[in-house]
Amino acid sequence: MPDQSVFQCNCATLFLLLFAISWSASVPIQGVIHDALRNGPMHQGYFSGFAFELILSRLSVIDQSIMQLRTDVRTLQERDQRIADNITRLEQRLDNVETRLDESNAIGLQIIDQQSRINSLSADLLAISNRQDQAESAIGSFGQRHHGRPHHVHHGRRGHNG
């Protein structure tokens, strides 16, 4: 039975290597496990050549999958970075739009203020124009009242020499 426990230990080592090696490790899992199998169970005679080749082919598929996953992760990270850059650019544009909107609102308030002043000046000008019309009417009516009468001229006193 000690051979059985060695076999279990080697299998445990195999599975530990399969799951414990980081996906970002630069050494392919196939090479690591190939070395583990060559130095371990092969000497015990527990793996026949066929089983060994089968395990290596499975490990090769796993390695290819891991490499593809690493490529996919890198692609996703690059895409995420592009998206983050686009979001930053959009936030900057939004800040610019908000600044311009604030400036437009300030200009709008100035226009409203100027329009109020223009309206006030127009009302003042209309009042002055009305007073001027009234004054001209008064002057005109005053002139008509005195226009029809003979002009009285003072010549001094007749017959009295002073």
Query: 60, 30 in Cβ contact below 8 A?
Result: yes
pLDDT at 147 over 50: yes
Mean pLDDT of the chain: 77
Element (H, E) at 36: helix 29-39
Structure tokens belonging to residue 39: 């130095």
Express as a percent the part of the chain with pLDDT over 90.
41
The distance of Cα 5 from the centroid of its chain, to the nearest Å, equals: 62
Question: What pLDDT score does 56 carry?
Answer: 76
Question: What pLDDT score does 67 carry?
Answer: 92
Least confident interval from 11-20, 24-33, 85-94? 24-33
Buried b (16+ CB within 10 A) or exposed e, 111-127: eeeeeeeeeeeeeeeee
Number of H helices, E strands in the chain: 4, 0
Return d(Cα 120, Cα 84) in angstroms, integer: 53
Question: What pLDDT score does 127 carry?
Answer: 94
Considering Cα of 89, then 95, then 96, then 97, what sign does the dihedral take? Answer: positive
Q: Phi and psi dihedrals of 138, rounded to 5?
A: -65, -45
Best-predicted range by mean pLDDT (66-70, 94-98, 145-149): 94-98
Give the pLDDT confidence of 18-44 residue by residue, as tens digits.
655 544 454 555 555 566 556 554 444
Sorting pLDDT into bands at 50, 70 and 90, what band is 141? confident
Task: List the chain domain ranges.
Answer: 2-80
Return d(Cα 95, Cα 102) in angstroms, integer: 10
Question: What pLDDT score does 61 carry?
Answer: 85
Mean pLDDT of 93-105: 97
Sorting pLDDT into bands at 50, 70 and 90, what band is 84? very high
Sorting pLDDT into bands at 50, 70 and 90, what band is 15? low
3 state DSSP class of 32: helix
Half-sphere exposure in the Cβ direction for 50 (13 Å, CA): 0
Mean pLDDT of 5-25: 58
